[in-house]
Amino acid sequence: MSRTHRVVPSRKTFAMIHVGIVGLGFMGRMHYRCWKAIPDTTITAICEANPKVLAAAGEPSKGNVEGAADHIDLKDVSVHSDLGELLAARSVDALSITLPTYLHPDTTVKALEAGVHVLCEKPMALDVADCDRMAAAARSAARVLQIGHCIRFWPEYVVTRQLIRGGLLGRTIAASFRRYTAMPAWSPDSWFADEKRSGGQPLDLHIHDTDYIHHVFGLPATVSSVADGPQTYISTHYHYDDGPAVVAESTWRMAPAFGFEMSFVVVLERATILFNSSSTPAFRVLPAEGPPPPLDIPPGDGYSREIEHFARAVAGEIVEPIITPEQARDTIRLVLAEKQSAREGRSVLL
Ligand SMILES: NC(=O)c1ccc[n+]([C@@H]2O[C@H](COP(=O)([O-])OP(=O)(O)OC[C@H]3O[C@@H](n4cnc5c(N)ncnc54)[C@H](O)[C@@H]3O)[C@@H](O)[C@H]2O)c1
């Protein structure tokens, strides 16, 4: 991608970016760990509605992926139970919004309208109209809105996209993506299990691979999906005219003891690329002939890299638009088409 964008900083100088985290659950703790490692940024405020969550701030994190902070220090931050109260204090330049999905649109728009840059967790929203509302609010406030599609920043996925698009390994013939875990059980009010609040498994878990497929191959012409009734499992074929055969499968129905696994296989004319988060080595590039190519795997994980990218944009740096609000919106459109395809038992045109 060669396009770049520049945003107007919300404060006169950016010697230090003041950050707030809204929602101190699994992802709030993930963002907390990442922000703590970024120079010239400081966490000054936390907004969390559940007093029990705040009382447990010093206790270990819950979640299915490693990296969330095990200890949150509330000593030097202002703690709020309401976003309006946090915004009224005018103490932050940027917010990580790590709330349950159904709360993303209203809270994001409110923060943008208050002149605050927003990194909102994925999925952007439950429907396209809300995504449009969020993107419009960012444009009219001239503030950064980034959606937390961490896989676009995940080192092995970044390198794989470069290899696919670089062309040296030939045409992509096929690509297959998988994501397996149990339904999240860490949230005190089980909002994940309520499709009206989470969008269900396809919008919550499967969306990671859908968004990556969108990022690498663009929007497909049609999708064809199969799922169980409540869509805790979904498998999709993304159809590209004259393009590669692309499939993705995900489920929330693994036994809890399984933990979490994400993986992919990409078959190119002159190489096979494999990744499996549970294997050692996790990432392999096997050329059809000759030695493996040298690989330059960026340090960090998708969360730390996406937050660093957001911080640079907030500081007014020119950054590559790796995930625009409009792209995140199109990913929602794509997942909703997959859900419809599975429900109606037919291919759905994008
Ligand atoms: N990028 C990823 O890999 C990834 C992984 C898991 C979850 N997520 C996404 O992150 C978001 C949050 O998920 P989570 O697992 O952290 O959920 P969670 O339930 O662990 O945390 C949400 C927190 O928000 C708090 N909260 C709810 N309403 C509030 C309000 N009005 N004001 C302030 N606090 C409020 C809750 O008390 C809870 O502590 C979801 O959109 C989810 O899809 C992303």
Q: Mark whether 170 and 102 lie in a shared domain.
A: no
Best of 21, 22, 24, 26 for a ligand 1 pocket test (most atoms within 8 Å of beta carbon): 26
Residue 193: give the domain boundaries: 155-300+331-349
Q: Mark whether 263 and 114 lie in a shared domain.
A: no
Q: Mark whether 104 and 211 lie in a shared domain.
A: no
Please give the pLDDT value at position 63. 83
Q: Is residue 2 included in any domain, yes or no?
A: no
Ligand 1 neighbour 103 (Cβ under 6 A): yes
Q: Give the pTM.
A: 0.95
Please give the pLDDT value at position 324. 98
Q: Is residue 230 included in any domain, yes or no?
A: yes
Q: Mark whether 309 and 342 lie in a shared domain.
A: no
Q: Mark whether 310 and 296 lie in a shared domain.
A: no
We report the CATH number of the domain holding residue 235 as 3.30.360.10
Q: Mark whether 142 and 28 lie in a shared domain.
A: yes
Q: Mark whether 185 and 250 lie in a shared domain.
A: yes
Q: Is residue 241 included in any domain, yes or no?
A: yes
Which is the closest atom of ligand 1 to the Cα of 24?
39
Please give the pLDDT value at position 4. 35
Which is the closest atom of ligand 1 to the Cα of 104?
41
Q: Mark whether 312 and 216 lie in a shared domain.
A: no
Q: How many angstroms is it from 149 CA to the middle of ligand 1?
A: 15
Q: Mark whether 141 and 202 lie in a shared domain.
A: no
The b-or-e profile of 190-208 (16+ CB within 10 A means b, else e) is: ebbbebebbbbbbbbbbbb
Amino acid identity of 314? V
Ligand 1 neighbour 48 (Cβ under 6 A): yes
The answer to whether 339 touches 200, Cβ cutoff 8 Å, is yes
Q: Is residue 326 included in any domain, yes or no?
A: no
Q: Mark whether 205 and 343 lie in a shared domain.
A: yes
pLDDT mean across residues, the chain: 94
Q: Is residue 3 included in any domain, yes or no?
A: no
Q: Mark whether 180 and 112 lie in a shared domain.
A: no
Q: Mark whether 199 and 267 lie in a shared domain.
A: yes
What six digits make up the tokens of 42? Answer: 């400081």
What six digits make up the tokens of 139? Answer: 């444009």
We report the CATH number of the domain holding residue 88 as 3.40.50.720
Using the 8-state DSSP alphabet, how is residue 330 labeled?
H
Which residues have C-beta within 8 Å of that of residue 190, sequence separation ≥ 6?
A: none
User: What is the number of domains present in the chain?
Assistant: 2
pLDDT along the chain (350 residues), means of 10: 35 73 97 97 98 93 88 94 97 98 98 98 98 98 98 98 95 98 93 97 98 98 98 98 96 97 98 98 96 90 98 96 98 98 98
